[in-house]
Amino acid sequence: MATMILLPDGTHDVSAHWGNVGAPTISVALTTDDGATSYATCDNHGASMVVDFAEPDVVTSANSGVAEADIASIESVRFLSSGKSTHRSSVTRLNIEFDTPSGNASHLAIYNAHRTDFTTVNGTAMVASDGNANTAWTYSDLENLAMEVTQVGTIEVYFSYFAMEVAFTLAVTDNATFFGANF
């Protein structure tokens, strides 16, 4: 099984309480796991934003790009994230859920309080695009992938990294190469 990483390439429906530090936009701040160098920040309960992700065939520094014809099946999709609470002793929470496609359960990401260290929180691998075990992920789902992130409580979060990890099975298109030229 192979994996690819889809990075943010935009945001929409962003509450005025979300901001960015060290990067020109929130989506750019979330593309590198660089701790306090660049991050999104929020401290208002219920403030939300929708994060859009790059299409799977887009080549970036973190993703070589995978064309639809190269994927036999998509096994699962999950989010990867890094963040921290700015409070001395209390954690901060973000509710993270699929905006497009919708239907999968939301995840409560809890980021520890720490003076300098960021906490890695990864979502559960979702094997269905809409929470129904009979609904397989499609390439079109990946092309339109968007996640809604909502602040829970009022303890400020530094949200440093947000990406989608896609596990898939490669399509075999050249049996001579697969089995060897002399087979």
Q: For residue 28, what pLDDT band results from cuts at 50, 70 and 90?
A: very high
Q: Can you give the three-state secondary structure of 104-153, one letter per residue? A: CCCEEEEECECCCCCEEEECCCECCCCCCCCCCCCHHHHHCCEEEEEEEC
Q: Return the number of other C-beta atoms located less than 10 Å from residue 27's C-beta.
A: 23
* pLDDT recorded at residue 175: 56
* pLDDT recorded at residue 37: 95
Average pLDDT, the chain: 91
* pLDDT recorded at residue 46: 97
* pLDDT recorded at residue 3: 94
Percent of the chain, pLDDT > 70?
92
The pTM for the full model equals: 0.91
Q: Whole-angstrom Cα distance, residue 20 to residue 17?
A: 10
Q: What is the DSSP letter of 36?
A: G
Helix, strand, or coil (residue 64):
coil
Quick one: tokens of 158? 């530094």
**Residue 181: pLDDT over 60:** no
Quick one: tokens of 159? 């949200």
* pLDDT recorded at residue 150: 98
* pLDDT recorded at residue 174: 62
Q: Whole-angstrom Cα distance, residue 71 to residue 56?
A: 11
Q: Whole-angstrom Cα distance, residue 106 to residue 164?
A: 14
Q: For residue 20, what pLDDT band results from cuts at 50, 70 and 90?
A: very high
Rounded to the nearest angstrom, the gap between the alpha carbon of residue 64 and the centroid of all alpha carbons in its chain is 17
CATH number assigned to the domain with residue range 2-179, chosen from the 4 options 2.60.120.260, 3.40.50.720, 3.40.190.10, 3.10.20.30: 2.60.120.260
**Residue 79: pLDDT over 80:** yes
> What's the mean pLDDT in 8-18?
96
Q: What is the pLDDT of residues 46-66, one digit of tens each?
A: 999 999 999 999 877 666 789
Q: For residue 119, what pLDDT band results from cuts at 50, 70 and 90?
A: very high
Q: What is the pLDDT of residues 122-148, one digit of tens each?
A: 999 999 999 887 899 999 999 999 999
